[in-house]
Structure 1
């Protein structure tokens, strides 16, 4: 599998940083707090501590800012534990560790690398957490950039309002990535250990075009198309770019778990996800997409794209998005004994 370079969330602590524009993601973590505490209290096997002096937690796709610290705080239920903060090597780990308060009651370490690859030794983790990260694909599906393919996504950068062939290509890529993710984590998590996943997604059987986040990403696509029509960017640049993201349903996640066979499903449910105001959502999108957009189109378009076009389109489409569902997928899995 060939991975593309997906740029991390905006680092630092500036106006457009992820740390200052991630309340949307934070609310998902807060909504899952009690469920995570309940899962640890009721589902975690105490016997897994017998072979370890410390409880080891990994937060995959931690990004920067206080969201990951909140997630870790929700997961600490052992006298002595070590926390591994993982994200791509280009993540702003300096900002992350600067935000950690003094005298933290755990041992912190950074682990650079993609969670689409192995990160930890066999049977070394007791609890894995990943929030608002696994929706990012390892790569853009090859067919959507292939001019000879029926799934070529010409003139578009997102899948949800495109052809069935394009949607199928993204669906298949998510399934492939999730199968790989499950296989890797099954090697790293001890028998009896837990994995909690929070993914922004959609309700089962809900069309992609009726999911709130897809509507929001469609406004980014529409804004880029407008810029191409005005000659600000070249149309060929649109044709050669797609956002490597996919918003799944619980059914799709459940299918991946069952295909893998190494985990039992302890909790699987939708949690409500509050819709932010258009200006806030525009800033959230910029914090997450700026690096990827800048890499392909250059940084000259960023202010007009997000602060003007995307924000205005979100305002104009607010009546439509009001009827769209915004949900998070919450899943707790337990590592089963090897058969």
Structure 2
């Protein structure tokens, strides 16, 4: 398979579906704890920033969760928003005027929507619908949505930058699958892809969200001024590179496949997000906060290994084959133990931002 084919093929793999031992459903406590920790911020932000007049014409609140995966975290996120809107109405003495809720769950077309919808909360307070497709494309009609949530999703790029798998490029990322400890040219290629993607993301959401509507971004991040190589999130992903190269040395994996495989994520800083909002000009930043990773709870190294496997297994399987998975992630756990990896590092944060459509 040509490099370009691998590049195109690997860019849109969702999280591991189902409910098995390696599934995202069972190995997304890190994200789930973060969503739960953000509940108070969601409630406060909607109470202060949301103008309920935007619901007045049809008395319906349309919510979208972008990058929903398979649950249960997406259900927590949507329910947090529903509860916050209801709380606002009750505080205003408008209990009888609480709108109906329509929730749209979005992810790539290959997402396990069957598992998602079979696990919908039976007593949910909203009508549910699935919307397949990349959030780097237009997903909804103009001015349809009132509140859009994107939790632990928009650090995923639309694709791997072409330069990093091009042998003739100065940004060729040979022997690595991430940019954390890569040469400057590789880092710049990822930064440029992030800027392009985030600008596109914000411009598309500006079309879909009503004026006065809210966009909630909750994402793994790094503090402004912190180097990419010092970010705990980046270190966690980057630790896969030497494990794959160990399999190359054993003759289990073709080195050319490692050279053509990169994980398309970019852990932006709050400053970089602010710059994107300012560049595009469609939203105002109502609030932006840095949350410590301790808000996500503490995970053991074994749990972190399973967490990363649930995220990248399908992509690794497509590029290297299913037969390497167990050996690769056994090596990965040993690598984390060897590094005495401390995920709750001060060099990584979650960024929480409330943006309002102008």
Following TM superposition, by how much is the alpha carbon of 1:101 offset from its aligned partner in structure 2, in angstroms?
2.0
1:324 deviates by: 5.4
What residue in structure 2 maps to residue 327 of structure 1? 349
**C-alpha separation between the residues in 2 aligned to 1:131 and 1:319?**
24
Query: In 2, are the aligned partners of 1:31 and 1:271 still within 8 Å (CA)?
Result: no
Deviation at 1:320, TM superposition (A): 6.5
Shift of residue 52 of structure 1?
2.7
Aligned ranges 1:247-266 → 2 under 5 Å:
247-266=267-286
Q: Where does 1:86-235 land on structure 2 (aligned, <5 Å)?
A: 86-235=106-255
1:36 aligns with 42
* Structure 1 CA distance for aligned equivalents of residues 275 and 249 of structure 2: 41
1:315 to 337, 341, 344: 337
CA RMSD of aligned residues (A): 1.4
Aligned to 2:19, the other structure's residue is in SS state coil
Most deviating of 78-87 and 293-302: 78-87
Q: Is the 8 A contact 2:203 2:280 kept in 1?
A: yes
CA contact (8 A) 2:75 2:121 kept: no
- Asked if 1 retains the 8 angstrom alpha-carbon contact of 2:301 and 2:341, the reply is no
Distance 1:199 1:320, change over 3 A: closer
- Cα distance, 1:312–1:295 mapped onto 2, change above 3 Å: same
**Farther off after superposition, 312-321 or 45-54:** 312-321
Aligned to 2:310: 287
Is the contact made by 2:173 and 2:182 (CA closer than 8 Å) also made in structure 1?
yes
SS in 1 for 2:256: helix
> Once the two structures are superposed, what CA deviation does each residue of 1:148-204 show, in whole Å capped at 9, x if it has no partner?
111111111110000011001001101100000000000000000001001101000
CA distance in 2, matches of 1:218, 1:19: 23
Q: C-alpha distance in 2, partners of 1:229/1:141? A: 27
**Deviations 1:202-233, CA, capped at 9 Å, x for gaps:** 00000111111111112111111111111110
Cα pair distance change 1:242/1:12, threshold 3 Å? same
Q: Which of 68, 73, 79 is residue 67 of structure 1 equivalent to? A: 73
User: How far apart in 2 are the matches of 1:14 and 1:321?
Assistant: 25
Q: Which stretch of the first structure deviates more once superposed, 100-109 or 60-69?
A: 100-109
Question: Quick one: structure 1 residues 268 and 324, their matched pair in 2 at CA, closer, same or farther if it must change by over 3 Å?
Answer: closer
Deviation (angstroms), 1:3 = 6.5
Which residue in the other structure is 1:278 paired with? 301
For residue 50 of structure 1, report the CA deviation from its aligned partner. Answer: 1.9
Paired with 1:320 and 1:21, the residues of 2 have a C-alpha distance of 18
Matching residue within 5, 18, 23 for 2:24: 18
Q: TM-score, normalised by structure 2?
A: 0.91
TM-score by length of 1: 0.96
Quick check: 2:163–2:171 contact (8 Å CA) kept in 1?
A: yes
* Alpha-carbon distance between aligned partners in 2 of 1:291 and 1:41, rounded to the nearest angstrom: 40
Aligned length: 334
Unaligned runs of 5+ in 1: none
